[in-house]
Structure 1
Amino acid sequence: MTTTSAHSSSAHLGLLDGKVAFITGAGRGIGAAAAHLFAREGAKVVLAARTESELRRVTQEVRASGGTADYVLCDLADAESVSAAVKHVTALHGRLDIAFNNGATLVPPGPMDTTTEVDFDHIYAVNLKGPWLAMVAEITAIRATSGTGAIVNTSSIGALMANPDLPAYGAMKRGLNSLTASAAATYGPEGIRVNAIAPGTTTTETLGSWEEASPGIIDSLVASTPLRRAASPNEIAEAAAWLLSDRASYVTGTILRVDGGTLA
């Protein structure tokens, strides 16, 4: 093969070419955008969430675009469900290379004293315990199959500052940042990188729900963003894809802000 043809062939390789990717919260929003993007970049994607109709739709869309996609039902608040979902990935493809822990939930916004114990327990189970369960299962799978790999968790810029409107949400995401750093330090010697992204205002269904509960919040958030707009889910997924790729091979333990400059 000539130098020119070799360069041409490599130029067509995707960012995640040949990797097997597991994505939670993949039925909509950032997770769905990641499923499409990761597949376009060459990964075989396995989507996970609780709602089968959403997973089926995104999977069919990815396949229609020429990608390799499958899905598995998964409840992040259920340890057995999380473990079974990750085992499904390795049974399907023989290995796991990368994982994007994006699944999360939101509780009604408001001051801390208005958050119920039920809501606090629920957001803990999904937004903090859930990613912990997922990371444990994913690290076990990566270790047993590919040997090395990468994990990205979805945090929030709300975890990097006071968050009076969403105090429980911010607390769980801040806890996730700590788990991310601890996992990076623990599993780095094995060649497993662990990072997180901290999105700013992003046009997802979750943001829409916040707007319904607190009319005007989107305009307020955009006004405090130097780029003066919200991010698309795809823009957030692009950051996750880079961190999961070999191009970020010396990046681990970081919380990457993707916030339009909000915390600059």
Structure 2
Amino acid sequence: MTGVAFRLMNSLTNLVSDRVTSAGLQRSFTLGDLTDLSGARPLDGRHVLVTGASSGVGEATAHAFAAAGARVTLVARTAEALAAVVNEIREFGGAADYLVGDLATEDGVAALLNEITASGVPDIVVNNAGRSIRRRVLDATDRLHDFQRTMAINYFGPVQLTLGLLPAMVERGQGQFINVATWGVASGAMPKFAAYAASKAAVATFGRSLAAELDGTGVAVSTIYFPLIRTPMIAPTADYDSQPALTSDEAAEWILHAARHRPLEVMPRYAKVLRSLTAISAPTADGLVAKSFI
């Protein structure tokens, strides 16, 4: 969104004061908030797998979990980059290892699953790896591969990983999948990002449906609808330079919040307002979003 639109939505919903929500986060209320009287779940000693962990949000998330006492397995395609992050974590006394895997292909995910299960199914899986494409649909009428590739890594990869690890989590009665989506899914329209938004909508809907099926099993699914995050992925787009954005470290805090509290969804306040507006008048909400993308 433009700075003006972001500030408008933020000011309309400035109803919370704790440290996490002050960054723009609005945690969805669930019945679990009534029953979980023990408060935040500890992360110390947990085994956490983070995909897309060689840079950006994934790297920051791996560092944050390790600092909280978790044992972290990092996943990405480049061994050299992964090794560098693992070494940094270990230098600070954290526990980390890595697996090289390609989440964009069925064979790549299958091979990764074999390696993961050989050393034990993680307690928490953060499906963070992804790709974003900024292009109008009219400019992509000869680029079906853009949509196919985006769905492969943003949707089919996380789904295949989930299918492979879910039975063991349910059997032991404990586990969590944290899926990374985007604020545009919650608000409705996302002009110029149709391929990206569609793939994130797919993984968000899959996660919410799965969460309903898993009720009472001890396995949770959380979806994070991130706003813009300043990462290497958006660096080539100059239009983003002046836009409000989270840092990778701030985004990692949202993910740890989800791990500790296991909400169904986490999103910025303005996305929450836009979703409510969509329920009243979808054209109005889409028009507001469209203007912010001009």
Give the TM-score taking structure 1 as reference length.
0.81
The residue that corresponds to 1:113 in the other structure is: 138
CA distance in 2, matches of 1:68, 1:90: 18
**Equivalent in the alignment of 2:150:** 123
Secondary structure in structure 1 of the residue aligned to 2:86: helix
Correspondence list, 1:154-169, <5 A: 154-160=180-186, 161-169=188-196
Distance 1:184 1:91 in 2: 26
Q: Is the 8 A contact 1:46 1:89 kept in 2?
A: no
Q: Could you tell me how far 1:263 is from its partner in structure 2?
A: 5.4
Post-superposition Cα deviations, 1:18-67, rounded to whole Å, max 9, x if no partner, equal 11111101010000001000011111110101122211111111111111
Mapped to 1, the partners of 2:153 and 2:77 lie a distance apart of 12
2 CA distance for matches of 1:78 and 1:57? 25
Deviation (angstroms), 1:87? 3.7
Stretches of structure 1 that go unaligned for 5 or more consecutive residues are 1-12, 223-229
**Matches of 1:51 and 1:260, distance apart in 2:** 35
Distance 1:141 1:73, change over 3 A: farther
* Structure 2 segments unaligned to the other structure (5+ residues): 1-39, 274-294
RCO comparison, higher one (Cα < 8 Å, 6+): 2
Contact kept, 8 Å, 1:82 with 1:134, in 2: the verdict is yes
Residue 103 (structure 1) aligned with residue 129 (structure 2): yes
Q: What is the number of residues matched between the two proteins?
A: 231
1:182 maps to: 209
Q: Aligned runs of 1:210-229 on 2, under 5 Å?
A: 211=237, 215-219=238-242, 221-222=243-244
Q: Deviations over 1:221-252 (max 9, x none)?
A: 32xxxxxxx2111111111112122xx15x3x
Distance, in Å, in 2 between the alignment partners of 1:217 and 1:262 is 18
Deviation (angstroms), 1:260:
6.8
CA contact (8 A) 1:197 1:255 kept: yes
Instruction: Could you list the structure 1 runs, at least 4 aligned residues long, displaced by more than 3 angstroms after superposition.
Output: 259-264
The more displaced of 161-170 and 74-83 is 74-83
Question: In the alignment, does 2:36 pair up with 1:21?
Answer: no
Residues in 2 aligned to 1:130 and 1:200: alpha-carbon distance in whole angstroms: 22
Alignment RMSD (CA, Å)? 2.0
User: 3-state DSSP class of the match of 2:252?
Assistant: helix
Deviation digits for residues 142-166 of structure 1 (CA, Å, limit 9, x no counterpart): 235x431111000011222311121
TM-score normalised according to structure 2 size: 0.73
